[in-house]
Amino acid sequence: MTEKWTYSFGGGEAEGRADMRNLLGGKGANLHEMSAIGLHVPPGFTITTDVCAHYIETQGDYPDGLNDQVNTAIAKLETEMAAPFGGGNGGDKILLLSVRSGARASMPGMMDTVLNLGLNDEAVEVLAAQTGDARFAYDSYRRFIQMFGDVVLGVDHYHFEDLLEDYKVDHNLKLDTDLTADDWKALLPDFIDAIENHTGEPFPQDPRKQLWAAIGAVFGSWSNKRAQTYRKLHKIPDDWGTAVNVQTMVFGNMGEDSATGVCFTRNPSTGENKFYGEYLINAQGEDVVAGIRTPQPLSLAEKEAANIDLPSLEEMMPKLYGELDTVRNTLEKHYKDMQDLEFTIQKGKLWILQTRGGKRTTKAALKIAVEMVEEGLIDKAEAIRRIDPSHLDQLLHPTLDPSAPRDILGRGLPASPGAAFGKLVFTAADAEVWSEKGEDVVLARVETSPEDIGGMYVSKGILTTRGGMTSHAAVVARGMGTPCVSGAGDVIVDVKAKTLSALGEVLHEGDLVTLDGSTGEIIKGKVATIEPELSGAFGTLMEWVDETRVLGVRANAETPMDAKVARNFGAEGIGLARTEHMFFEPERIIHMREMILAQGYEERKVALDKLLPYQRKDFADLFTIMDGQAVTIRLLDPPLHEFLPQSEKDIKAVAEALGLEIDVIKRRIDELEEVNPMLGHRGCRLAITYPEIYEMQVRAIFEAAADLVEDGKTVHPEVMIPLVSAHTELKRLQPLVKQTADRVLSERGVDVAYQIGTMIELPRAALRASELAKDAEFFSFGTNDLTQTTYGLSRDDAARFIQIYRERGVWETDPFVTIDKDGVGELVKLGVERGRSMRPGLKVGICGEHGGDPASVHFCHDVGLDYVSCSPYRVPIARLAAAQAALGVEAEDNA
């Protein structure tokens, strides 16, 4: 029995369903679903993603039986529409088709579309007679030739645009809409000749050949560069493939009673429950998103809010606006999510061309999720599931200070909110080059296209002079969380000259600009920022998150500022305070260097005594800010040479400050130099050589704790010994820490509950965890170093080839971003099991960068860790990821 390759829909019936998106793609599945629930959907059929897989695997062949199934599906459409495909058989009616992509995950603009398919030199006359509108017919034919030539035959669209512009200049015409039917008739032979000149073949007149060529082009577009880039950025698997949707054409360019538009059931930027979108009268869908004509607001409320003079659809076609509003409510209740719709009005009849879950900013996603819970559409668990943890990063960084002065160059549409500043670049390629050099860039374009996706991704902000709120730039920027200002018509972007002109000023490539994606302002220079306020929907959702998650979330923090940020973001303690970072202030580093350059124990002790008050204050500040929460303090870890001066100037300054000979300092630098310092004299190895260093730090910790306890405060210190590989190391150092701590507490006459643990960052430590647990009261996996030592990699050096490994399929993810579950993860799992076999209830966490990576957080939940610790700004991300792990949401690798 031949496999089913096509699924038909239309007329209130459908062979597919919404839950068949893996087979029919997201667009196709939703077309079937909308048809089944009775919405006016132009009839059509979907060719499955399995065909795409076969097409790519066989390099352009189709499976057996597909041709017959396509012919059957077209015959069904011809019967339903009472018109032959391509207007054959000398009849007076014609059926035209659109051919569109549709992957299971939305990839807006990344793959190809062909409209008006079936037109040829004869069919255009039938269309003119059928509609009584020759101008519409010939305009539709030239659109088809241009789109087919570009998408299917590879003739760049600018060849056709140049011909059109030349014609308008020669005939003193300004707008495309100024061309008459005779003008289009006169221009069409030039379009057809352009195709033959570039391809060596005449433009195909056979509608069936056109159809199969378009189907092949759409399947082939799954493998184009921009689609590959988009999939890579959004972690969409290459083997998913795309479906092809073949659908009856409906026309929004048949006169003043026809229109086309794009709309969202709620505002995709703010999340407000207000109908939101744009439309154009007498236009086709590409006109709305391409930015060639200025789109008009959908509703009167939008028009008034944006202070736009153009009439809204609600004013121009109130009855049809009402129908569209009903569809909006129907679809949102049916899908229980905000929808992105495309519609066409043909001669006063509303048709729905597409619905999909709408791309939205994180701010909007939070508001929509919380309000849908309040409206009874979804429950709290579903609201938690809907927010991508990695997208929270958009909300957690500073925004523009409203009171700061602004040198405003112009305004556009607030297409994607947030603040962005960077150096101006004018091409996507330049954006990528500058970004690779470490520069923050703002990409300025007349309009963006799908080919710009790589440059858009690396840009901090995007500015276009054309396009509306539903343009390519706006949709893609919102999906990436990148601030965007679109449609800034008063700003002139000259890509060739690499200049931006506004209000009499000319800015050049490399000049600094700021974009306010929330207001649409374009600002010269850099504007001051303020910390974000995380309340409202964010606060509500995070309350639900904390009710749901099992895994604790701490922060890596050693400065008061970091600790305060961590507390504000909901951290439940500090999981890693790196004490080495506390020594680099000028008034401290000199004493650190004095200690390192000391000739013996007594001299080292003198220098350490000078450092102790600084350390005591550091720890007191952290204890005070965390207010009774656990603070895990890692004792000194890096090798000593990292604290010594390197330049001649600095060496001389240290010599003068300490009264030493320059040669003495240089000799000590040489003595401490290591071939591989990451695996050298550091961590607990330093303390076994120089125990007085750890003794000073522990004394500082517990003197600070005692001071606060005497003031009625609660403290919970955890002392962590780093880089342990053998029980004999811990067995020697744990008593040193305990005796020093107890001595201080006895001297002060106070009680402080504390714990002593170790950092598991070497494979041997994980393997010998049961022994270490005899003396360690907690483990914290340092997965940064554990990854380095498991792979035999230097994280800094490996960056040169990790991307090559990923591109060539050696590694799926960067192991320094998402934890390697099979290797490093296995060591973590083994360490937990063996540690708890010796000490039941052993507290275990991780404190590497993986603690803020959603996929790694899921892993930590699954192996039974007690907490993760991450950078302060990633604390909310970890909290949400932990809640999703508790709900069983499948995690994505984020590397």
Active site residues: 472, 847
3-class state of residue 351 by DSSP? strand
User: What phi and psi values does residue 523 have, to the nearest 5 degrees?
Assistant: -125, 135
Nearest to 366 by CA among 378, 381, 384, 379: 384
Q: Which of these, 651, 400, 631, 439, lies nearest to 527 by C-alpha position?
A: 400
Pairing of strands 6-10, 505-508: unpaired
Whether 550 and 886 have beta carbons less than 8 Å apart is answered as: yes
Query: In Å, how far are 74, 204, 257, 304, 353 from 316, measured between CA atoms?
Result: 36, 40, 9, 15, 21
Task: Please check whether residue 894 is in contact with residue 818, taking contact to mean a CB–CB distance below 8 angstroms.
Answer: yes
Which one, of 519, 37, 106, lies nearest residue 340 by Cα?
106
3-state SS of 767-808 is HCHHHHCCCCCEEEECHHHHHHHHHCCCHHHHHHHHHHHHHC
- Please say whether the beta carbons of 307 and 573 come within 8 A: no
**DSSP letter at 393?**
G
Report the C-alpha gap between 170 and 166 in whole angstroms: 6
Q: Give the DSSP letter of residue 3.
A: P
Give the separation between CA 645 and CA 665, rounded to whole angstroms. Answer: 9
For residue 259, the surrounding DSSP H or E stretch is strand 259-264
Q: Which of 825, 885, 830 is nearest to 858 (CA)?
A: 885
Measure the CA dihedral 676/680/681/684, to 10°.
140
Strand, helix or coil for residue 309: coil
Q: What beta strand segments (E) does 550-597 contain? A: 552-556, 573-578
Cβ neighbourhood burial of 657 (10 Å; 0-12, 13-18, 19+): exposed
Write the burial class of residue 174 (CB in 10 Å: 0-12 exposed, 13-18 middle, 19+ buried): exposed
Handedness of CA 15, 19, 24, 28 (dihedral sign): positive
C-alpha dist (Å) from residue 130 to 81, 125, 251, 346, 711: 13, 9, 13, 14, 90
